[in-house]
Structure 1
């Protein structure tokens, strides 16, 4: 878990997650899989606070991205995996902001795997206030496994699919979030 709010390497403008350079966990087929996963926590950085005095909307996505990176490392995707030419890319995200959070406040995130196939992973994040447990925001994401050299989707290796299947199985006991798959729109009465 990280408590680091650094997101740009010194001397560059490249976005860097708190997990950059930390490698990945060794997968243990016999270990219990938490439902949901709790892999990332942080504190609201002053750089994330907007003119309204709370965390800016783009920074919610930044923090969800850090949570996704922690998940990637949990399943075995790290710098070496990317150097070999593959990664998971986000192709769709739905954010739901529930409550404000201010500078210096703690936040903790959970993640669940809703589904996956040979090329895609459907995940759901919850962001909670680290002290009160209040739900602050959620994010639903569709990820696709990519051959980075070819710039195209490609099947994941068998070991990664086995890990995702084990996580998904552990997460089937969790209730499906009611916002999953919900379209955005303004309801109109006839």
Structure 2
């Protein structure tokens, strides 16, 4: 997949909890922002979603926390597409401290493509599937 980050930002003091590190709600929020940048690379842009009446819904999310992030730390998220199915996609985000390179957290998601009016899952358009296939990570041996 592209090596460009899907999210870049910083940890603000108001994002930290009583222990002094970034609160878990902000990890999830930064991963969510990375989701939309990843989706746009696949053609699931805001204009496509609005004009087609489609949407994406997270149905599974697993976060593993590895290192603390503190106020002032610069954060970078890189993403990998792991699997594309008829109506769903599985992908992973890796959040790093951009200064040290240390992995702070990893998140794996399953997202479902949906018809917003019918409130049901629906197949991806061929152009979306084709784009996703180009970004698909090769299977591990």
TM-score range (shorter-chain normalised) is over 0.9
**What number of residue pairs does the alignment pair up?**
140
**TM-score, normalised to structure 2's length?**
0.92
SS at match of 2:80: strand
- Residue in 1 that maps onto 2:14: 47
- Residue in 1 that maps onto 2:27: 60
Residues 125-178 of structure 1, C-alpha deviation per residue, up to 9 Å, x if partnerless? 10010101001000010000000011000001000000001100xx217x59xx
Larger Rg: 1
User: How far apart, in 2, do the equivalents of 1:160 and 1:52 lie?
Assistant: 43
Question: Which of 73, 76, 85 is residue 40 of structure 2 equivalent to?
Answer: 73
Mark the CA change 1:37 to 1:88 in structure 2 (over 3 Å): closer, same or farther.
farther
User: How far apart, in 1, do the equivalents of 2:100 and 2:60 lie?
Assistant: 30
Unaligned 5+ runs, structure 1 = 1-32, 177-190
Question: Which of 59, 63, 66 is residue 95 of structure 1 equivalent to?
Answer: 63
- Residue in 2 that maps onto 1:187: none
- Residue in 2 that maps onto 1:139: 107
- By percentage of residues, which structure has more strand? 2
- By percentage of residues, which structure has more helix? 2
Question: Which of 72, 93, 107 is residue 125 of structure 1 equivalent to?
Answer: 93
Unaligned 5+ runs, structure 2 = none
**TM-score, normalised to structure 1's length?**
0.70
SS at match of 2:6: strand
**CA deviation after TM superposition for structure 1 residue 79, in Å:** 2.5
User: How far apart, in 1, do the equivalents of 2:133 and 2:4 lie?
Assistant: 14
Question: Which of 116, 129, 135 is residue 161 of structure 1 equivalent to?
Answer: 129
SS at match of 1:159: helix
RMSD: 1.6
Match status 1:116 vs 2:76: no
